[in-house]
Amino acid sequence: MKKVLFSAYFAILTLIFIPLMFPLEVSLSELKNVQSIKFENYPGSGGSPQSESTVAEIKGIGQLLAQGVTKQKNNTWYPYLMKYSIIHAYSKGETNKLAADIFSIDKDAKVDHVKNIKRILAGYLEGMYNYSEKHSKVLAIFILYYNAVYRGNIDYFASKYKTVVLKHITKADAGIAVKYSDWPGKTKMLIPLTEDAERDSLNSLDSSIISDDKVIEAFQKLEDMGIDERKDIVELKEEQVVEKKEEIDKTKEDIEKKKDEIKEEEKKLQEEKDKIKKKEDEIKKDKEKIDEIKDPKDKEKKKEEIKKKEDEIKKDKDTVKKDETKLDEEKKEIVKKEDEIKKEEKEIVKKEDEIKKDKELIKEDEKKIEEKKKDDSTVPPVDDKTKLEEEKKKMEEEKKKMEEEKIKMEEKQKELDEREDELKQGVDDKVFDGKFYYLKIKDYLPDGVYQNELFIINAGTRKVEVKCPYDTISGSKYSVFKNGVVVIGFEGQELYNHKLILLDRYTLEPVSVSADFIFWRSFVEIRDDFIYALVMNQGKYYLGKFDEKLNKVAQSSVALSKDTFLTFYKDYVYINDEAKKIAVLNITNLKLIETIEP
């Protein structure tokens, strides 16, 4: 029956596979200084969602990443369902280099077409920096090509980006690979940021670096030479220049206002200095006359008056000095800003030259396209024999790929058959060395509490070999692993003070007892030699993670439902919180990563 199903499945596959077996590609040929880029998308994916709502959902992933990362501190990864993540890698140092947002396609991602990567990037740019839909789309396209061109080029990235960016990438994952199967877990796309990066600023992204000569050379190898996209990026650059000029003009106005304020302050300070000088002259005259005073008391009184005036003058001088220091600092700040403006104006001139060069190159390429169209119209038609040879060659390639796919499918079917046979033989996971553990209910106590006994039974002789001396096992759940048997038990008459008990695998003697109280109806799960059970703490329930000696090494950061189920998947634990929502916990420290609301 399995072979019939396999044959039928392969027949269907044969009908659909021929038109899908060749991946949709971005047609970039070998360039002088640019690697050959050929994106291999999943055959048949097409990158075309079934509805506009699906397109919106894909863009929404990027927008959610933007919302999440803005709520976190810089240089902290924000994940989305363990499929994608983003980090705003920024530091104030190394002003001659770039900060970056790094978009990561994580190992659980199912993205299979570059169109959807562009949609996520566009959604992120809209959500994070409020770029328009048009601008975010063209930036996403250039970011994609840029990261493909410089894939794995750590030396290049090191020359352009700050240390805070470089520590998050490696040669193996920097940029984006050309094959869809190499994207998950191996992709860190750099989105270059300027020092002006902030919401509502067109100059947040460095449009020049993502459209450098190598990237433009890549576009030139497209059939349409990427004319529309290149025009769009030029349009954005022009708008960036206009915005920057407006900012500079505004800064210049502020500087002039500040200079006028400083002049006023300097004028006031001079007036204050003049007043101080006048007071000092008066004190000098008073001192000269002091010897003329005959009455000792009057003389002493005059000296005190002079001393008081001198103290006031000293205070006035200190105030003036502080104000002068402040003005000096403001003057230095103005000079600094003026230097920055000069630098920015030079950058604008450089950007305008770049725009001019871009436009000229686009015009040249448009002429080449027109000339090519004329040349193509004069090319004689290919004869039938040549067409047949090309079709034959194509069919042979398709046949070869189909045979390779058939071999892969047969191997997969064999693996499934072997797995099915193994499952049919199914051996209970509580059987070790021909012996199994059997939990017998002795008494049923209030609130679902049991009093049980545990035995080791020889499966071959069907004889009881060991009876557990610990006779207050309460839970109906237990787990066996290499270090022993883990059960839930209680001591004396305290029915609700339950703890984890580790029993020796061979003698069933108690070996260890947990310090924490355990919910008496809790599951007891073993994963990678760690024991998981529900911990009770002040009337609430938490997931506890215990080592082989029942020492608690982690506790969930959120309270849980006492009736929860537990599911492990890779590096994550899925479990119900108090509100019966699904809490996704980090398996290492049981910290909450995300909450899923079904």
Lowest mean pLDDT segment, chosen from 404-408, 469-473, 486-490: 404-408
- Give whichever of 253-267, 281-295, 399-413 has the largest mean pLDDT: 253-267
Task: List, as one string, the DSSP characters of 31-73.
Answer: -SSS-----BPPTTTTT--SSHHHHHHHHHHHHHHHHHHHTS-
Q: What percent of the chain is predicted at pLDDT more than 70?
A: 83
* pLDDT-based confidence at residue 385 (cuts at 50, 70, 90): low
* Main-chain dihedrals φ then ψ at residue 433, nearest 5 degrees: 50, 40
Q: Closest Cα partner for 501 from 493, 509, 489?
A: 489
What pLDDT does 50 receive? 45
What pLDDT does 8 receive? 37
Question: In the predicted model, is pLDDT for residue 408 greater than 80?
Answer: no
- Average pLDDT value for the chain: 83
Separation CA 484–CA 497 (nearest Å) = 22
Question: In the predicted model, is pLDDT for residue 564 greater than 80?
Answer: yes
Separation CA 41–CA 19 (nearest Å) = 14
* pLDDT-based confidence at residue 254 (cuts at 50, 70, 90): very high
> Stretch 176-191: mean pLDDT, rounded?
94
195 vs 18 pLDDT, higher one: 195
Question: In the predicted model, is pLDDT for residue 101 greater than 90?
Answer: yes
> Stretch 242-262: mean pLDDT, rounded?
94
Question: In the predicted model, is pLDDT for residue 200 greater than 80?
Answer: yes
What pLDDT does 521 receive? 83
What pLDDT does 556 receive? 94
The pTM assigned to this predicted structure is 0.57
pLDDT tens per residue, range 423-448: 334 445 556 666 788 888 777 665 56
* pLDDT-based confidence at residue 409 (cuts at 50, 70, 90): low
Angstrom distances, CA of residue 244 to CA of 195, 202, 249, 340:
12, 9, 9, 12
* pLDDT-based confidence at residue 2 (cuts at 50, 70, 90): very low
246 vs 505 pLDDT, higher one: 246
Lowest mean pLDDT segment, chosen from 39-43, 165-169, 557-561, 592-596: 39-43
Inter-residue contact 181 to 89 (CB < 8 Å): no
Lowest mean pLDDT segment, chosen from 228-242, 448-462, 514-528: 448-462
Element spanning 325, H or E? helix 296-378
Question: In the predicted model, is pLDDT for residue 53 greater than 60?
Answer: no
> Stretch 374-379: mean pLDDT, rounded?
68
Angstrom distances, CA of residue 354 to CA of 10, 237, 341, 348:
55, 9, 19, 9
Question: In the predicted model, is pLDDT for residue 5 greater than 50?
Answer: no
Inter-residue contact 136 to 61 (CB < 8 Å): no
Give 394's DSSP letter. Answer: H
What pLDDT does 27 receive? 27
What pLDDT does 309 receive? 87
Say if domain 431-596 classifies as CATH 2.30.30.90.
Answer: no
> Stretch 581-594: mean pLDDT, rounded?
92
What pLDDT does 37 receive? 66
Query: Under 8 Å CB-to-CB from 228, ≥6 apart: which residues?
Result: none
Question: In the predicted model, is pLDDT for residue 451 greater than 90?
Answer: no
Q: Closest Cα partner for 479 from 425, 421, 422, 518?
A: 518
Lowest mean pLDDT segment, chosen from 137-141, 145-149, 199-203, 409-413: 409-413
Task: List, as one string, the DSSP characters of 231-282.
Answer: HHHHHHHHHHHHHHHHHHHHHHHHHHHHHHHHHHHHHHHHHHHHHHHHHHHH
Q: Look up residue 179 and give its amino acid.
A: K
> Stretch 274-300: mean pLDDT, rounded?
86
What pLDDT does 51 receive? 44
Question: In the predicted model, is pLDDT for residue 382 greater than 80?
Answer: no
pLDDT tens per residue, range 310-368: 899 999 999 999 999 999 999 999 999 999 999 999 999 999 999 999 999 999 999 99
